[in-house]
Amino acid sequence: MNSIGIFLKYARYRYMIYRILLRIRMGKDKRDEYFRNTGLSILDFLPERPYVTEYGVKAIIRRGTSDFTVLYMSIEPKVEPHLAMKENEVFVDVGANVGVYTLMVANNYMDKGVTVVAIEGHPENYKALCRNIECNDDSFKHIIKPINKAVSDHKGIVRMFERTYDGIRAGTSLYSLFDTFVLDGNYVKQNGCTLKLECDTLDNILAGRNADVMNMDIEGAEVLALKGATNTLKGLRKIIVEIHGNNLEAVKHLLQANGFNTEIICEAMNYVIGTKS
């Protein structure tokens, strides 16, 4: 197993040496301006290789992405217990990104016959998700079914916008179907790329499949996704929805209208938890 702590020390040394070399070549002011304009950090000097997360799964951190934050800092302590699975159940990860919840559930419940459907719309994040599945136990390939589609309330084509926190780099966990308010400090990147992607409803994507527990993190499109999931919601016993923008009340209403009891969890983000008796 590869401890990321050791490689972070290695990355820190590489980062410091690079800063020193640039100062010699460019001078302090131009070097500092270069770092501001590029957003380079210690994480960009990590070797791109599999690392073992605290959940016992392997994942590869891509340079210039949000992968480190997603894989090592995104799971909320109050949310994790709601991902508990029963024998032979199906977990659906909507907005799976690079697979933090997908991999955790597959690993934790492998012996219980649980299967995972991981839905990710962004093509590069989807490739990273598949690579992370492949670098784990071979049995993960049989447990996890990745699907490359954006989720909405209709079948067709949608635009996905590149968004950013710092105005320099695209946040690879921030891509959204919306170019309006999603979260404080999170806005469409100036001159960022806009993707045209195939979208579909959850009812269509999951047709013919059972679904018992669902996690949803799709950067503002959660109301659209729930409107296209009437049949899917009937079969779920639990759903965890990460809230973006002003969607809290709309998500609560949609879940309650579909027979869920709801509770709100407030941590770094707000979540609506829907549970059926």
Say whether both 104 and 233 belong to one domain.
yes
Of 264, 265, 201, whose CA–CA distance to 233 is shortest? 201
Q: Are residues 19 and 123 in the same domain?
A: no
Close Cβ partners of 257 (under 8 Å, ≥ 6 residues apart): none
What separation in angstroms does the CA of 3 have from each of 49, 50, 78? 11, 10, 26
pLDDT for 177 equals 97
Residue 121 lies in a domain: yes
In this structure, the answer to whether residues 26 and 155 fall within a common structural domain is no
Question: Across the 277 residues of the chain, what is the mean pLDDT of every consecutive 10-residue run?
Answer: 80 96 96 94 92 91 92 86 97 97 96 97 98 92 96 98 93 95 93 94 96 98 98 98 97 98 93 95
Distances (CA, A) of 84 to 104, 179, 205, 215, 216: 11, 34, 23, 11, 15
* Same domain? 148 vs 190: yes
Examine residue 17 and state whether it is found in any structural domain, yes or no. yes
Q: How many domains in the chain? A: 2
Query: Over the stretch 154-185, which tens digit does the pLDDT of each residue have?
Result: 999 999 999 999 999 999 999 999 999 999 99
Q: How far apart are CA 119 and CA 122, in angstroms?
A: 10
The predicted model scores a pTM of 0.94
Q: Say what the pLDDT of residue 24 is.
A: 96
pLDDT at 77: 87
112 with 150, same domain? yes
Task: Extract the tokens encoding 14.
Answer: 């590489």
Q: 156 and 201 in one domain?
A: yes
In a domain, 57, yes or no: no
Bridge partners, 75 (sequence order) = none
Looking at the structure, do residues 99 and 143 belong to the same domain, yes or no? yes
Residue 58 lies in a domain: no
Tell me if 85 is assigned to some domain. Answer: yes
* Residue 53 belongs to some domain of the structure: no
Is residue 259 domain-shared with residue 167, that is, in the same domain?
A: yes
Kindly report, residue by residue over 153-162, the tens digit of the pLDDT.
999 999 999 9
Same domain for 25 and 88, yes or no, is no
Backbone torsion region of residue 113, taken as left when φ is above 0, otherwise alpha when ψ lies between -120 and 50, otherwise beta:
left
Q: Look up the domain containing 40 and give its range.
A: 4-44
Strand pairing of 163-164 and 187-188? antiparallel
Domain shared by 18 and 92, yes or no: no
Say if 50 falls within a structural domain: no
Q: How far apart are CA 149 and CA 250, in angstroms?
A: 23
Same domain for 189 and 143?
A: yes
Give Cβ neighbours of residue 230 (< 8 Å, ≥ 6 apart). 203, 258
Helical pair 100-108 and 123-134, crossing angle rounded to 10 deg: 30
- Which residues are CB-neighbours of 172 under 8 A, at least 6 positions away? 62, 65, 66, 67, 70, 97, 122, 124, 125
Radius of gyration of the chain (CA): 20
Question: Do residues 42 and 146 make contact, with C-beta atoms less than 8 angstroms apart?
Answer: no
Query: Which pLDDT does position 2 carry in this prediction?
Result: 60
Distance in angstroms (rounded) separating the CA atoms of residues 12 and 8: 6
Say if residue 96 is in the same domain as residue 179. Answer: yes
Residue 158's identity, in one-letter code, is: V
The CATH code of the domain that includes 243 is 3.40.50.150
Q: Give domain status of residue 52, yes or no.
A: no
